[in-house]
DNA sequence: TTGCTTGCAAAAGGTTTGCATTAAG
DNA sequence: CTTAATGCAAACCTTTTGCAAGCAA
């Protein structure tokens, strides 16, 4: 995935838009808003959260449109879906490259982590299963510092 | 999790049942059926699948009961939930110890894998984030051999 | 102008809940 | 006996769909 190394939000935004244009996907106001929202977001919003936050600025936007746009971004590889146990909601994460999520079992907070040396099992798995590997996602469950105190 | 090393299905079954009894959880016919089903299952069934498969033998059992039992088994640590992208269904996996799932992006097949040397990032993550780590789950996405041919 | 995208509302899953009934211990 | 577990149906929540209208290219 070559389109996942950007130094700042502006770069990332421009890159997404130009990629979409190349593919003949139209750049609408709501689409721009969703892209920007995801790029600027530090955590992992759900469709509902995005909808609620953007509604004041885009009163006519519908929830279905948020879902439509998320779908496009996922298909184009700019966004990854995250799911948590005991929760039917889907969360969205801009820049879907290999990375590491740490999830608090108590409060549900999801923290991204830069794995210094995230070991790749790609070769081993490919050999053992014959799968053509596209992405690795390591999810770690635990209890966050705040919940440990409480 | 000490209760996750069994040489065969019978051991595992006996262990689950005795653990539940100790906790004062009643051993009903439907509960037994669900436990057995999960232990014998080679893949990762959904509640619906379990319900459909058990229905012939337990015609009066309801889907809600399957969910009830799955909830208990998850809470007691005998079963892990799995979720896939583009799919709102929850899948259940007996013996929720650290392991490795390989998911085919085309057909959705989920394969378990024994990682010879699944590297643990526990220490590193604990140091970086202060989280108390309870479980690691490595999910690998790819295309299975069958779908590669097609 | 063309047809992708939107907004709306209804429908479709999957899961949970409330409650009377049953049965495990 | 006691009360957890069951079965049923309705409710719930998230996500998807169908379609007429709007708008980007």
Residue B1: pLDDT over 50: no
**Conformation bin of residue B24: beta by default, left when phi > 0, alpha when psi is -120 to 50:** left
Distance A64 CA to C8 C1' (A): 9
Tens digits of residue pLDDT in B76-133 = 989 988 887 778 999 998 875 456 778 887 777 777 766 555 566 777 778 778 888 7
**Top-confidence range, A32-41, B6-15, B37-46:** A32-41
Per DSSP, B46 falls in state B
pLDDT band at B4; cut points 50, 70, 90: very low
Helix H or strand E segment including B111: strand B110-113
Residue A76: pLDDT over 60: yes
Please report, for residues B18, B34, B43, B50, B51, the alpha-carbon distance to residue B56 in angstroms, rounded to integers and kept in the order given: 27, 13, 20, 11, 9
The number of residues in chain A equals 150
Of A17, A30, A29, A68, the residue nearest A47 (C-alpha):
A68
Residue A86: pLDDT over 70: yes
Of B84, B127, B141, B106, the residue nearest A121 (C-alpha):
B141
CB-CB under 8 Å, B121 with A115: yes
CA angle B9-B14-B19, nearest 5°?
130
Hey, which residues does A139 pair with through a beta bridge? A101, B137
Domain boundaries, chain B: 9-148
Please report the number of interchain residue pairs, chain A to chain B, with beta-carbon separation below 8 angstroms.
124
Distance B87 CA to C14 C1' (A): 10
**Mean pLDDT for chain B?**
83
Which pLDDT score, from 0 to 100, does residue B57 have?
95
In the block, tokens 């790819």 appear at: B142
Model's pTM, two decimal places? 0.75
The Cα B104–Cα B43 span in angstroms is: 13
The CATH class of the A9-148 domain is mainly alpha
The Cα B94–Cα B73 span in angstroms is: 9
Tens digits of residue pLDDT in B13-57 = 999 999 999 999 999 999 999 999 999 987 889 999 999 999 999
Residue A24: pLDDT over 80: yes
B120 vs B7: which has the higher pLDDT: B120
Q: Does B85 touch chain A (CB under 8 A)?
A: yes
Helix H or strand E segment including A77: none
Using an 8 Å Cβ cutoff, are A51 and A67 in contact? no
Tens digits of residue pLDDT in A101-119 = 788 877 777 777 655 555 6
**Mean pLDDT for chain A?**
83
- Residue among A105, A128, A143 minimizing CB distance to B113: A128
Residues with Cβ < 8 Å from A71, sequence gap 6 or more?
none
Which pLDDT score, from 0 to 100, does residue B128 have?
78
Residue B7: pLDDT over 70: no
Using an 8 Å Cβ cutoff, are B4 and B97 in contact? yes
């Amino acid at each position: 995935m070559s389109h996942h190394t950007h130094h700042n939000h502006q770069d990332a935004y421009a890159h997404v838009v130009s990629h979409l244009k190349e593919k003949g996907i139209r750049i609408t106001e709501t689409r721009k808003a969703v892209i920007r929202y995801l790029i600027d977001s530090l955590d992992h919003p759900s469709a509902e959260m995005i909808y609620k936050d953007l509604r004041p600025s885009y009163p006519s936007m519908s929830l279905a449109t948020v879902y439509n746009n998320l779908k496009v971004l996922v298909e184009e590889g700019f966004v990854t879906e995250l799911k948590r146990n005991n929760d039917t909601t889907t969360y969205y994460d801009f820049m879907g490259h290999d990375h590491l999520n740490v999830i608090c079992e108590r409060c549900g907070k999801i923290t991204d982590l830069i794995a210094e040396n995230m070991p790749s099992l790609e070769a081993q798995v490919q050999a053992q299963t014959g799968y053509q590997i596209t992405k690795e996602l390591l999810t770690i469950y635990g209890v966050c510092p705040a919940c440990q105190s409480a």
